[in-house]
Structure 1
Amino acid sequence: MNFVNEEIVYGKNPVAELLKSGKPINKVLLVSDGPSGKNQDIMALLHKNNTPYQFVDRQTLDRLTNRERHQGMLAYVAASEYANVEDILALAVERQEDPFILMLDEIEDPHNLGALLRTVDAVGAHGVIIPKRRSVALTGTVAKTSAGAVEHVKVARVSNLVQTLKDLKKAGCWVSGAEAGGTNAFKADLTGPRVIVIGSEGKGISRLLRENCDEIVSLPMRGQVSSLNASVAGSVMLYEVLRQRIQSEKPITKI
C-alpha cells in the first residue's frame, strides 16, 4: 500500500517504487541499519539516482508520519518536475534570446525560493539552478509561495554549482554575483548571456563560487540596514537585467 501524506511517501516498498519510477524526489530520510543491513537495495537505488538522503533516528520518522508504519524510511516528493541545465539553455534558443539564468547558492527558506520563482517568471528569465544539498528544494511551501510559477519556471538541481558555473561560462554566459562591496549594479552592464548568482541568507555566496564569478555587483544601500532579504535582492537584480535588456536592444549573441 502506498502511504501518501501531502508531499511525503513512507514505507520500504512505496519508497522503492518511487525511486524506480523516476519521479522527482527532494530527499529520502532513513534509519541506518548498518553496512550489511536489509536496506542495501534502497541504498543502491539512492546512489544510482543520485538522490539526496539523510540518516535519522526512528523517533524523527515516528513524528513525521504520526507514528504510522514507516518501516524506517520516508521520501519527500518534489512539488514539480526538475529540469536540467540543458533544458534551460534550450529554452533560450527556442525563444531566440540570450540566456538569462538565476543561480541560488544554498537558499534555505522556502518562501525566498518561492518568491524568486515568481519573479523569474515575471521577468521572463529562462530558469533557476539550485544545489542538491544544503538548499531548500521544490516543496509544497515553495509551490504555494510561488503563486503557480513553479509550474512555469524550469528549475535545475545540480550536484556541483561551481562546475555548472564553469560549464555555463564555456557556453558563453557572463556571471554576475550579487554581494556587498561590488560594482554598483545599476551602473554595470548586465546585458548579453547572463547568470545572476544570489548567495544564502546568512553566508552569502560561497568562496569558490564567488571566485568563479566574472564580476561582483551590489545594490546601492542608503538606509541604516546593511543588507536585503535574499528574495528581495534577487528580484531587484532580475528586474535590472530585464530593464537593461529592454533598453539595449542589442543583437542576440550566438552561443
Structure 2
Amino acid sequence: MQIEGRNPVLEALRAGSSITTLFLQKDIKRDERIKEIIKEAQRHNVEMKQVKRYLLDKKSETGVHQGVLAEGEDRKEQDLGTLLKDNDPFIIYIREALYEHNIGAIIRTAECVGATAIILPPKIELTAQIRRASMGASEHIPIIRQSLFQAIKLAREANLKIIGIERAENSTNLYQAELKKPLMLIIGGEDRSLSKQILDKCDITVEIPMKGKINSLNMSVAAAIVMYEVFRQTNTIL
C-alpha cells in the first residue's frame, strides 16, 4: 500500500491504517498539517524518514506527493456478507471506470453520505491514484473487491433493493423514485451503459433529469447526485 499527499496520509494515520513507514521531504515547511501528520505517526509508532525531494518524486505514483508519502500493508478486506447485516446497509458498486480520479471521487462522496461499503470488480486495484483522489476517504470506508453478480446475489439474500443509474427506456426520474435503505446502487462506466443483463437484475433504474444540450454527466458527478438523494430521503437533517 502506498499513500501520497498530506490529507490522504493524515486520514490514513487517523484511521489506524497499517502504515509502516512515513517519508517526509527534508526541507518541508512544518505547518500545522505537517505537525499533525508527525504527531499521528509518533502516536502509531510509525518509522519516519526525511528524504530529498527527488527520492519522493522517484517513489511517487501520482506525481502529487506534496512532500509526504507513506507505505504500509493493505487493509484486510472485510466480508460483504457480514457488512450486509448492518442496520439498513447502503452499498455502492462501481461497475467499471476508465479514470482513477472518478473512482476516488465516488469513494469520497460515499464516505461523506455514510455509505456502508464500496464494492469494486476484482480487476480494479486500489491504487495510490485512487487513494489520493479520495482525499483520505478510502481509509475510512470498507472497500471490497467482488464480482457484480455475486454481490447482487448476496444483496438479494439480505433484502436490499438493487438500483441502477441509467438513462433507459423504463428508468424512473431520480426525484420521483423511492430510495430508502437498505439498498445497493450500481454505477456504470464513463463510456458504457449498464448491460441489459445487469438492468434485468435491478429492481429499478433511475435517471437524472437534464435540460441542457449535452445531456450527460461525469460518472462521479452523477453518482454524487444520486447518493445525496438517497441521503436526503433517509435523513431528516436536511
- Shorter-chain TM-score: what band? 0.5 to 0.7
Matches within 5 A, 1:59-74: none
Matches within 5 A, 1:67-146: 80-90=75-85, 92=86, 97-133=87-123, 136-146=124-134
Q: Is the alpha carbon distance of 1:126 and 1:197 closer, same or farther for their aligned partners in structure 2, counting shifts above 3 Å?
A: same
Q: Is the alpha carbon distance of 1:221 and 1:83 closer, same or farther for their aligned partners in structure 2, counting shifts above 3 Å?
A: same
Query: Secondary structure of 2:180's match?
Result: coil
Q: Does 1:176 align with 2:163?
A: yes
Q: Is the alpha carbon distance of 1:78 and 1:155 closer, same or farther for their aligned partners in structure 2, counting shifts above 3 Å?
A: farther
The equivalent of 1:235 in structure 2 is: 224
1:80, distance to aligned residue in structure 2 (A): 4.9
Query: Secondary structure of 2:176's match?
Result: coil
Q: Is the alpha carbon distance of 1:139 and 1:87 closer, same or farther for their aligned partners in structure 2, counting shifts above 3 Å?
A: farther
Identify unmatched segments of 5+ residues in structure 1: 8-22, 24-76, 249-255
The equivalent of 2:22 in structure 1 is: none
* In structure 1, C-alpha distance between the alignment counterparts of 2:191 and 2:89, rounded to whole Å: 28
Q: Is the alpha carbon distance of 1:81 and 1:201 closer, same or farther for their aligned partners in structure 2, counting shifts above 3 Å?
A: farther
Q: Does 1:211 align with 2:206?
A: no
Name the aligned partner's letter for residue 78 of structure 2: A
Quick check: 2:81–2:154 contact (8 Å CA) kept in 1? no
1:81, distance to aligned residue in structure 2 (A): 4.4
* In structure 2, C-alpha distance between the alignment counterparts of 1:206 and 1:78, rounded to whole Å: 36
Greater RCO, CA 8 A, separation 6+: 2
The equivalent of 1:194 in structure 2 is: 183
RMSD: 2.4
Name the aligned partner's letter for residue 82 of structure 1: E
Post-superposition Cα deviations, 1:23-53, rounded to whole Å, max 9, x if no partner, equal 9xxxxxxxxxxxxxxxxxxxxxxxxxxxxxx
The equivalent of 1:54 in structure 2 is: none
Query: Secondary structure of 2:175's match?
Result: coil
Q: Is the alpha carbon distance of 1:80 and 1:231 closer, same or farther for their aligned partners in structure 2, counting shifts above 3 Å?
A: farther
Q: Does 1:155 align with 2:146?
A: no
Name the aligned partner's letter for residue 177 of structure 1: G
1:79, distance to aligned residue in structure 2 (A): 6.1
Misfit runs of 4+, over 4 Å: 77-81
Quick check: 1:179–1:218 contact (8 Å CA) kept in 2? yes
Name the aligned partner's letter for residue 118 of structure 1: R
Q: Is the alpha carbon distance of 1:78 and 1:216 closer, same or farther for their aligned partners in structure 2, counting shifts above 3 Å?
A: farther
Identity between Structure 1 and Structure 2 (%): 34
* In structure 1, C-alpha distance between the alignment counterparts of 2:75 and 2:165, rounded to whole Å: 27
* In structure 1, C-alpha distance between the alignment counterparts of 2:99 and 2:77, rounded to whole Å: 18
* In structure 1, C-alpha distance between the alignment counterparts of 2:88 and 2:220, rounded to whole Å: 23
Post-superposition Cα deviations, 1:188-228, rounded to whole Å, max 9, x if no partner, equal 00003111111011112133222101111100011111211
Q: Is the alpha carbon distance of 1:141 and 1:122 closer, same or farther for their aligned partners in structure 2, counting shifts above 3 Å?
A: same
* In structure 2, C-alpha distance between the alignment counterparts of 1:80 and 1:222, rounded to whole Å: 43
The equivalent of 1:46 in structure 2 is: none
The equivalent of 1:167 in structure 2 is: 154
Q: Does 1:225 align with 2:214?
A: yes
* In structure 2, C-alpha distance between the alignment counterparts of 1:143 and 1:86, rounded to whole Å: 24
